[in-house]
Amino acid sequence: MVGKGIIKGMVETARNFLGSYVSKQRLTTIQYPEERAPQIEAARNFPFLVFDGTDAERGLRCVACQICEKECPPKCIFIEKSKDKKPDATGRMQFYPATFNIDISVCMSCQICVEVCPFDSIKMDVVYDLSNNDRFAGLLLHKQQLAKSNEYYNTIHPTEAAAVDAHFAEERAKAAAKVKAAAEAKLAAEAKAAADSNAKAETPLADTQAQPVGGGTR
């Protein structure tokens, strides 16, 4: 019969239409501005810079090593290194970016900057409503707009951020141990120097006493 196939198709359409009143699976539309789909954890959009603590300027993890600038495929990152140094997340003295710009009208969200960053300082954001009147200046993000706190990073990518924080805690513990060891070594050296001067003055026994303390230098 001519038209049988068409009727069969219409039945399918009707089933979907009527089903949309009862089944959530058939009504997949979301009324966007009022209603938003839940954020998927792995989602990525544009990069941002992570800072620790409360001060965006002081806590910035970036040390201006310029690896991301070099590896970025469309070359949308612009960094200027500072002249002076400030302590970084683990307490070492490092350079910091005097200028850090990302042109998000050029960025293609490929995430290669995140992969190559050795300091876990650049991460991907999930903000998507970024429309702007100003095509050039409005889409060129500066350091101040890019810097976002570690707490924010923890809310958007919890699993990833937890791993990064654990890694940093380990690094800090190591650094603290190193500082402690250095202090102990200094103390031991001082003791030794004192003992040496004492030994010169009085008895050679003090030299052997200083030895076990010196073991802290390893």
Partner 1 sequence: MSDATNLTAQIDINTIPALGKEQLLELAMGPQHPSTHGVFRMNVVLDGERVMKLKPVFGYLHRNHEKIAESETYLGSMPYTDRLDYICSITNNWAYAIAVEKLAGIEVPERAEYLRVITGELTRLQNHACLLGFLMQDMGASGTPLMYAFREREKIMDLFEGLTGARMMCNYLRFGGCRVDAPAGWMDAARKVVAEFPRFLDEYENLLVGNEILMDRTQEVGILSKELAINAGISGPMARASGVDYDIRKVDHYSIYDRFNFRVPLGERGDVYDRYMIRFLEMRESIKILEQAMRDIPDGPIVDPKTKIRGFRPKPGEAYGRIESPKGELGFYLVSDGALNPYRYRVRPPSLINLTVLEDLCIGQNVADVVVILGSIDIVLGEVDR
Residues that bind partner 1 (CB under 8 A): 2-6, 8-9, 11-13, 16, 28, 40-44, 67, 71, 73, 108-112, 115-116, 124, 159
Residue (159 or 197) nearer to partner 1, CB: 159
> What is the smallest separation between the CB atom of 50 and partner 1, expressed in angstroms?
17
> What is the smallest separation between the CB atom of 76 and partner 1, expressed in angstroms?
12
Residue (64 or 210) nearer to partner 1, CB: 64
> What is the smallest separation between the CB atom of 162 and partner 1, expressed in angstroms?
13
Residue (9 or 215) nearer to partner 1, CB: 9
Residue 45 · residue 109 · CB < 8 Å:
yes
The Cα–Cα gap between 193 and 199 comes to 9
Residue (12 or 170) nearer to partner 1, CB: 12
> What is the smallest separation between the CB atom of 97 and partner 1, expressed in angstroms?
19
Question: Angle at CA 161, nearest 5°, toward 123 and 40?
Answer: 75
Residue (41 or 207) nearer to partner 1, CB: 41
The Cα–Cα gap between 18 and 78 comes to 55
Question: Angle at CA 54, nearest 5°, toward 51 and 56?
Answer: 45
> What is the smallest separation between the CB atom of 199 and partner 1, expressed in angstroms?
53
> What is the smallest separation between the CB atom of 15 and partner 1, expressed in angstroms?
8
DSSP string, 57-115: HHHB------HHHHH-TT--EEEEE-SS-EE-TTS-EE--EEEEEEETTT-----HHHH
The Cα–Cα gap between 212 and 108 comes to 59
Structure tokens at 118: 């050795």
Residue (4 or 200) nearer to partner 1, CB: 4
> In angstroms, how far is the first alpha carbon of the chain from the final one?
92
Question: Angle at CA 158, nearest 5°, toward 69 and 127?
Answer: 55
